[in-house]
Structure 1
Amino acid sequence: RLLDDLDEAQRAAVTCEQLPLAIVAGPGSGKTRVLTRRIAWRIATGQAEASRVLAVTFTRKAAAELTSRLGALGVIDDDGVSAGTLHSIALAQLRRRAAARDQTMPGLLERKARLLVPLVAGTGRRGPDTVATAADVAGEIEWAKARLITADDYPAAATRLGRTPAVGVDTVAGLYARYEREKRRARLVDFDDLLWWCGDALETDPDFAAEQRWRFRHLFVDEFQDISPAQLRLVRGWLGDRADLTVVGDPDQAIFSFTGADPTALTDFRRVFPGAHLVRLERNYRSTPQVVHAAEALLADGGRRRRPRHAMCSDGPVPTITDYDSEADEAAGVAARIREARAPGRPWSDFAVLYRTNAQSAAFEEAFIAAGIPYRVRGDGRFLDRPAVRAMLERLREADVAAPGMPLTAHLTDLDLDTDTDGAAGDEESARSADERRQHTAAIVRLGREYAAIDPNGSVDGFLAWLRTALRNEDAPVDGDAVELLTFHRAKGLEFDTVYVTGLERGLVPIAHADEPAARAEERRLLYVALTRAEHALHLTWARRRTLGSRECGRAPSPWLEPIEAATRASDPSATAARAPSPDRVRDELERARDRVARAGSGDRDDDAPDPELLAALVEWRRTCARAAAVPAYVIFHDTTLRAIATLRPTRPSALLEVSGIGPVKAARYGDAVLEIVRRHTDGPALASA
């Protein structure tokens, strides 16, 4: 019975007797079914005792689903399999250890901000930025602890791994050390401590280790591609010198390196666990062939050799690609299409709207309220509830108190300018935080200008009241039937009949700060995760103009739309009509094609390579600017931005804004000088517009 409805590969994964075992399971391949059936099979055949099984998941929901499925299979009783998250299992084991020693377990600190906000304020930072800085430092501490890096070791490790947080490595290290001291003084532990402490106990306390290994003899770990060094150490501690380990994961869905996750534990499984065996599940039972072909084309375009996945469902509609004039039009267009597609009796929960950054939800919330569509924002909650948004609105309030007669539009401009200079330097993590702040500020400024158009004499207080009313969402239930709004990251592990993947523009997908090969590869995998959430219908959208602060900027489609579009044409030649490019875009592409032909005939350099003389001139100009302003060179422009300028050679302000790393403020500040340098060094056709 346990094997009846499984395919050949699934059956092999369930019955395999070689250990350790890694099951590499692609999207829709029946991962949870195979994991539960394997546990049940090993219990039913006497290879495992239910009470000695430990199943590790990354969410409480996944643990509950796993135990529910095992119960439905009828092979466990109330004293059966133990399942839970790594943190919950570690906490339970540490509590038992403390009780056995007549000790009291320290209290659990659920939010680092409780201790970090006062510590950050003690460094001289005040106001709304204190909370945002504390959140950035908390993220950096969590990354360090996931990689087993102490406060003393953090500066060297952060430098070695290229992390340059906005507040500085030394500041983070100091706050990390003070945070740890304050935590000990208050007799508290955070979630990261649970993994570290339990790992320490397994390595240093033989009795404790023997007890856990006696109790849990059969280990099963889900989502193994997302495991961190601290988590891997804990799994190794539970395993000891035994081989009874089964893991399930998919390297193509490894998207959490910014939290400290390291997918090499799965990609190099045979090296990490010598003698291990691999089984691959490559059939997708979730999505139509059209969705699978689009997702596979995206990964194939990345150049990494891999075995393709195959769709087992019947045919469905060809994925569509639609461009809109602006992000407001995009949101309104998606809302209209969802309302049109929802037949009587069809649940709203069939539909999901995915986006790269949290800030992008604001436009969709507004459009769905106007269209009367119930929605649910997953993750960080509604737009006005997010810490970054509250911080920006508090900054507006403070500015209004300091200058009560100042027009709202002037306050909005100042807010935009101030935020554009926040986090000008930093690594991927700090750049991500700065980008999130800028995205949220851009949404606030856009909404503020909408309000100002309604009430030209409106005040900050009036805008805040209007904002609460405009986004109150009274008729859209938080629970119950609703369209899901969520980021690509939050969509992991979920599936929907119809999915809209939105904002597919350069600078968002891939995100602007992903300028290293590993970061761009993860961005590609992240889009792959978003695409494979669709069961039946997949719609991709982007906006030709997006409001960034106080200006509307021209946008270019994500470069990863090309392989997806090619896949849709291959699966259905009539699919070319699914994309309706604007006349401007057609003209620009024709101009670029003519440029490439002209250069090929003249023997000129590759268009995709930076002009070395132009790049040298830009570097020298940046050095001069940095010295004059007494700031590091990267505060002016990052190296990758200069390389992009030297490659694209923009000659107009609108084209300069298309370059990754250049926003409206930097374009206004440095644009004329940069364009003049480009003009002096351009010896052929250059990118006039995009």
Structure 2
Amino acid sequence: MTAATHSPSFPSEAESADAVLLGLDPEQREVATTLRGPVCVLAGAGTGKTRAITHRIAYGVRSGVLQPASVLAVTFTNRAAGEMRGRLRALGAGGVQARTFHSAALRQLQYFWPRAVGGELPRLVERKIQLVAEAGARCRVRLDRNELRDVTGEIEWAKVTQTVPGDYPAAAHKAGREAPRDAAEIAQIYSAYEQLKRDRVMIDFEDVLLLTVGILQDRHDIAETIRAQYQHFVVDEYQDVSPLQQRLLELWLGDRDDLCVVGDASQTIYSFTGATPDHLLDFRNRHPQATVVKLVRDYRSTPQVVHLANGLLGQARGRAADHRLELVSQREPGPEPVYAEYADEPAEAEGVARRIRDLIKSGVPAGEIAVLFRINAQSEVYEQALADAGVPYQLRGAERFFERQEVRRAIAELRSAARFGANDPLLDDVVELPAQVRAVLSANGWTPQPPAGSGAVRDQWESLAALVRLAEDFARARREVTLADLVVELDERAAAQHAPTVQGVTLASLHAAKGLEWDAVFLVGLTDGMLPITYAKSDDQIEEERRLLYVGVTRARLHLTLSWALARSPGGRASRRPSRFLNGLRPGSLGGGPRSTGGAGGIERGARRRHRGPVLCRVCGKTLNDAGEMKLMRCEDCPSDMDEGLYERLRDWRAEQAKSLGQPAYCVFTDKTLMAIAEAAPSDGGELAMISGVGGRKLERFGADVLAICAGQEPGEADGGDA
């Protein structure tokens, strides 16, 4: 066979390399062909960053500039590493290593440990939480399951930020971390945990990085061996590297600069794990000769979705915001984002379920639809609404609500209490269903006020609080219900959610949605206090919450709906306001909104009720966020015009009612509700019903007495029983 006959089937190396560049846009092509020196790729959401860097590696391999075995591509999840390996194989660069930081470090540690230390590598800790529990016991600190998870998270954060036990309290304070226990206690447990590992000759995953760093720092011969093996590095999601991972990368590189990093500071949402965008933002300072390429052509989302995403970042503040990328959609125009306002959370969930059902009927596959929320505890009402609508769903990144351990345990306790009834000491003299549920769940970690900060303890509390709210709504909807009735209702709800999950609508937290995309995305529960979440206090924390919403918006290819509820439950006071992040973006909000072509754009009033706007202090006019202050309609520090005599008469009346009912006083009205009543001095049922904490059932039961007291009269002879 002559060369002329076989050359069309077997192109030259140069032709083969150039073929890799076909279909790349100019910026992606620049990334792919810049094979030497430091390269920083600033890649916005949906701009094809993985395509750009995999084609870069393949082009380098096919052109002979890079040897496959000399390239190490590093990313952050096994899923992303697997996807990268698959793409590289398809492009003819199958010999390239694509691994996570931990996987690459563990491989090196296993190989060099006998030479550097001698003997076998210590065993990896399989269940870190169990060891942390033992460490807590050694320190005479008892930790429940959720505290264990949170303390374990603090230890992991300390290690990736290279903080030793003795320095943890100061470092945690400086970083503004909401520690689940006293910082000194955590430092003590951290120290005991490290000692336990030494005693048992074990290491954890953070040690894998720490030990690899230690060996490369101390053994220059080993460091040079690795540097001879890997001469070219690519790091994806560079905005998420921790200080420890950055140090390892520097040791891999040595004095070379053959490095390509890819990231987007506007998608930094994992700072609580130690991730920081500073390494990405400082790349030009460390490498003044670096080639910087910006990928801003968005191939994922329509111009309407991209316009909203750009507007969201346009309001951002801080260092990451100063380096934001202005995306340019490459898709045909689509529908405007929909803003939907509802009276309460169940109405919001039902409205979302209806819209999803309509989308599926119009031809959108269920697997191409997602409902994204801030915390996993929000999933229950959407699980129920989708199940009621006959829409299959799957929960990503968390257990289904009724499968969570704390929920299963709580229902078992409620079932036991219902079975034993009056013989249960927890329920002595408690007759109202919600009060009974609160009494039972208080033994399982529920408290009237949420725990400080985030983490597993807060997640557990949110799950139990959802059960309390469910009991309140159940009692409000049906008369004379018992604890046994509620248990039956819970069992039925759990059974109804055993819907098929294949090709189902995805329910996920915003954090779990990172790196994914769908044709239709519903961003739900967008109220101040949920996004940004209540415990986000500092400017940096608030801005990370904004970036979290940005990540949610940019998951949508075509359909995007943003919704919120003005009240938690039906009949509740509409005291919530839409997320401040939507100000100036949604139609009708301060500052205008995105361009509208009519049709799907604009605000849908899911409950057909007037938007009440932010809750303002009636004394100083400041916007109120705290639930107690919103109940009073004023700041705690602002002067009160409360009628002290009226308040005392209400307190005396409440004490008598509580005694006759055999319930705690707060089961009648809380102190804050009494204060709000005494300040408002309502003259009729309508005014009384507007006060937060006075629901329909309490209005019916206690309204006549309260109005009589407010009018300076003696309450009627009603005994407070059911009307």
TM-score by length of 2: 0.77
Q: Which residue of 2 aligns with 1:617?
A: none
CA pair 420-474 structure 1, distance change in 2 beyond 3 A:
closer
State whether residues 357 and 487 of structure 1, in contact with CA within 8 Å, keep that contact through their aligned partners in structure 2. yes
**Secondary structure at 1:104's aligned position in 2?**
coil
Query: Structure 1 residue 564: deviation in Å?
Result: 2.6
Q: Which residue of 2 aligns with 1:187?
A: 201
State whether residues 221 and 248 of structure 1, in contact with CA within 8 Å, keep that contact through their aligned partners in structure 2. yes
Q: Which residue of 1 aligns with 2:494?
A: 471
Residues in 2 aligned to 1:469 and 1:183: alpha-carbon distance in whole angstroms: 46
CA pair 317-201 structure 1, distance change in 2 beyond 3 A:
same
Q: 1:159 aligns with which of 153, 169, 173?
A: 173
Q: Which residue of 1 aligns with 2:75?
A: 57
Whether 1:540 and 2:556 are equivalent positions in the alignment is: no
Q: 2:131 aligns with which of 95, 115, 130?
A: 115
Pairs within 5 Å for 1:293-312? 293-303=307-317, 304-305=321-322, 306-312=324-330
Q: 1:565 aligns with which of 554, 577, 586?
A: 586
Residues in 2 aligned to 1:556 and 1:223: alpha-carbon distance in whole angstroms: 34
Q: Which 10-residue stretch deviates more, 407-416 or 1-10?
A: 407-416
**Secondary structure at 2:586's aligned position in 1?**
helix
Whether 1:411 and 2:436 are equivalent positions in the alignment is: yes
Residues in 2 aligned to 1:233 and 1:504: alpha-carbon distance in whole angstroms: 38
Aligned length: 622
**Secondary structure at 2:436's aligned position in 1?**
helix
Paired residue type of 2:131:
L
Residues in 1 aligned to 2:486 and 2:691: alpha-carbon distance in whole angstroms: 36
CA pair 63-111 structure 1, distance change in 2 beyond 3 A:
same
Query: Structure 1 residue 119: deviation in Å?
Result: 4.0
Whether 1:261 and 2:261 are equivalent positions in the alignment is: no
Residues in 1 aligned to 2:680 and 2:271: alpha-carbon distance in whole angstroms: 37
Residues in 2 aligned to 1:398 and 1:209: alpha-carbon distance in whole angstroms: 62
Whether 1:83 and 2:73 are equivalent positions in the alignment is: no
State whether residues 616 and 634 of structure 2, in contact with CA within 8 Å, keep that contact through their aligned partners in structure 1. no
Q: Which residue of 1 aligns with 2:64?
A: 46
Residues in 2 aligned to 1:154 and 1:572: alpha-carbon distance in whole angstroms: 54
Whether 1:176 and 2:190 are equivalent positions in the alignment is: yes
Residues in 2 aligned to 1:308 and 1:131: alpha-carbon distance in whole angstroms: 44
Query: Structure 1 residue 17: deviation in Å?
Result: 4.1
Query: Structure 1 residue 493: deviation in Å?
Result: 0.4
CA pair 291-99 structure 1, distance change in 2 beyond 3 A:
same
Between Structure 1 and Structure 2, the one with more helix by share is 1
CA pair 421-214 structure 1, distance change in 2 beyond 3 A:
farther
Query: Structure 1 residue 142: deviation in Å?
Result: 1.3
Q: Which 10-residue stretch deviates more, 579-588 or 326-335?
A: 579-588
Residues in 2 aligned to 1:57 and 1:669: alpha-carbon distance in whole angstroms: 53
State whether residues 195 and 231 of structure 1, in contact with CA within 8 Å, keep that contact through their aligned partners in structure 2. yes
State whether residues 131 and 391 of structure 1, in contact with CA within 8 Å, keep that contact through their aligned partners in structure 2. no
CA RMSD across the alignment: 3.8
Residues in 2 aligned to 1:277 and 1:93: alpha-carbon distance in whole angstroms: 30
Query: Structure 1 residue 110: deviation in Å?
Result: 3.6
CA pair 238-569 structure 1, distance change in 2 beyond 3 A:
closer
Q: Which residue of 2 aligns with 1:446?
A: 469
**Secondary structure at 2:154's aligned position in 1?**
helix
Q: Which residue of 2 aligns with 1:492?
A: 514
Paired residue type of 2:461:
R
Paired residue type of 1:266:
L
Query: Structure 1 residue 143: deviation in Å?
Result: 1.3
Q: 2:335 aligns with which of 308, 317, 320?
A: 317
CA pair 155-568 structure 1, distance change in 2 beyond 3 A:
closer
Deviations 1:283-304 (A, max 9, x none): 1010000000111111112254
**Secondary structure at 2:151's aligned position in 1?**
helix
State whether residues 423 and 434 of structure 1, in contact with CA within 8 Å, keep that contact through their aligned partners in structure 2. no
Residues in 2 aligned to 1:249 and 1:99: alpha-carbon distance in whole angstroms: 36
CA pair 234-546 structure 1, distance change in 2 beyond 3 A:
same
Q: 2:604 aligns with which of 571, 579, 585?
A: 579
Paired residue type of 1:525:
R
Pairs within 5 Å for 1:142-541? 142-303=156-317, 304-305=321-322, 306-343=324-361, 346-390=364-408, 392-393=410-411, 402-403=425-426, 409-414=434-439, 419-420=446-447, 424-425=451-452, 430-433=453-456, 435-449=458-472, 456=480, 458-459=482-483, 463=486, 466-472=489-495, 475-478=498-501, 480-541=502-563
Q: Which 10-residue stretch deviates more, 433-442 or 358-367?
A: 433-442
Q: Which residue of 2 aligns with 1:627?
A: none
Deviations 1:387-414 (A, max 9, x none): 4545655776798865366655333223
Query: Structure 1 residue 21: deviation in Å?
Result: 1.1
Deviations 1:524-553 (A, max 9, x none): 0000000000000001111111159x9877
Whether 1:140 and 2:161 are equivalent positions in the alignment is: no
**Once the two structures are aligned, what percentage of the paired residues are identical?**
37
Residues in 1 aligned to 2:268 and 2:634: alpha-carbon distance in whole angstroms: 27
Paired residue type of 1:16:
T
Residues in 2 aligned to 1:559 and 1:316: alpha-carbon distance in whole angstroms: 26
State whether residues 442 and 547 of structure 1, in contact with CA within 8 Å, keep that contact through their aligned partners in structure 2. no
Pairs within 5 Å for 1:543-622? 543-547=565-569, 554-566=575-587, 569-572=594-597, 577-580=602-605, 585-586=610-611
Larger radius of gyration: 2
State whether residues 335 and 600 of structure 2, in contact with CA within 8 Å, keep that contact through their aligned partners in structure 1. no
State whether residues 375 and 483 of structure 1, in contact with CA within 8 Å, keep that contact through their aligned partners in structure 2. yes
State whether residues 498 and 536 of structure 1, in contact with CA within 8 Å, keep that contact through their aligned partners in structure 2. yes
Q: 1:103 aligns with which of 114, 119, 134?
A: 119
